[in-house]
A and B are shown apart, each in its own frame.
Chain A
Amino acid sequence: MSEPKKVSRRQFLNYTLTGLGGFMAAGMMAPMVRFAIDPVFKPAAAGDFHSVADVKEVTNEPQRFEWEVEQVDAWYESTIQKTAWVYRKEDDEIIALSPICTHLGCTVDWASNEEYPKQFFCPCHGGRYTKDGVNVPGTPPTAPLPVFETKVEEGMLYLGEEIAR
């Protein structure tokens, strides 16, 4: 049997001071680390909903609504303007379509071409979409217009992320 180890006064002090010092250092480092990797913990801004219009303004005819969002990339933080074509279906459901042509990204207009008064029309290459945003076969786009997530709260229409279809 070995004798229980004796801790000298000096050793005891050493242990306690190192321990305490380490604890304090950890206390100081933690917020710094947290600060350094903070963006990782931020919820994705893309999931945000933005208030766009009073629901009373939404009719059966698609209308353009605009709102602004903050966009951050590696160098700049900028405000970009977003647009959606919004209308109410017969069953009262609100549809919000992205105006960005799925062909090459021009902005489509509702009923801007006299020959197709009930369609979305892209001025660049004549791409067309029906009212529900589905591309008309035989025109350049190969996918329907993306739809925005919608929600209504206290009479206001909120739009969220774009969902490709």
Chain B
Amino acid sequence: MMKWAKKDLEQFVKEKEYIDTLFIPLIPIHTSIDEKMTGSGFQAELTNLFSRIIEEQFRGRIVLAPDYYYIAGNAEAEVERVNNWIDSFTEKPFSYVFLFSFDRNWRKSESDLRGELLWFPGLRNGDLQSTETQSFVKEQAKEIVEIIKESWQT
């Protein structure tokens, strides 16, 4: 998908008729407890990895919004702002909006979100380079790719 960068967005502006999908990564940040802090750093990196894979697959139809960061623990309070983000694309609204997150708190407000929540139980902590993480990422990414394709078909 297209990244939030000059060159990609120039292409988007030119090819708008073909690009009808928005993908927003929702990334919580923990700031108080040390262990959670490093964990949230890991989750953020993991999320970026997924965004990159999805980008490669679908760069001709999806725009990748900049990461949406928020202080962890209060996803409900963020719903309105996330919806504002989505609604702010007024020039040409997207037909499909995907919100990708490892934060399960979003599930409680899933129905209030004006986009499809792609929630996955992430890995709590780990090493991005390890083969375990890599196979996890590959499997999950396949799943996400299929979900997006299915949404387009209906």
Binding site for B on A (CB under 8 A): 101, 103-107, 122-125, 140
Contacts and interface: CB of A to CB of B under 8 A. Distances in A.
A104 to B, nearest CB: 3
A105 B18 CA distance: 12
A104 B15 contact: yes
Contacts, number: 33
Nearest to A127: B60
Mostly, the A contact residues are: loop
Nearest to B146: A123
Interface of B: 11, 15, 18-19, 56-61, 149, 152
Nearest to A126: B152
A104 B57 CA distance: 11
Contacts of A122: 60
A101 B18 CA distance: 14
A104 B59 contact: yes
A48 B57 CA distance: 25
B149 A106 contact: no
Contact of B152 (A103, A123, A140): A123
Contact of A104 (B56, B61, B149, B152): B61
B57 A125 contact: no
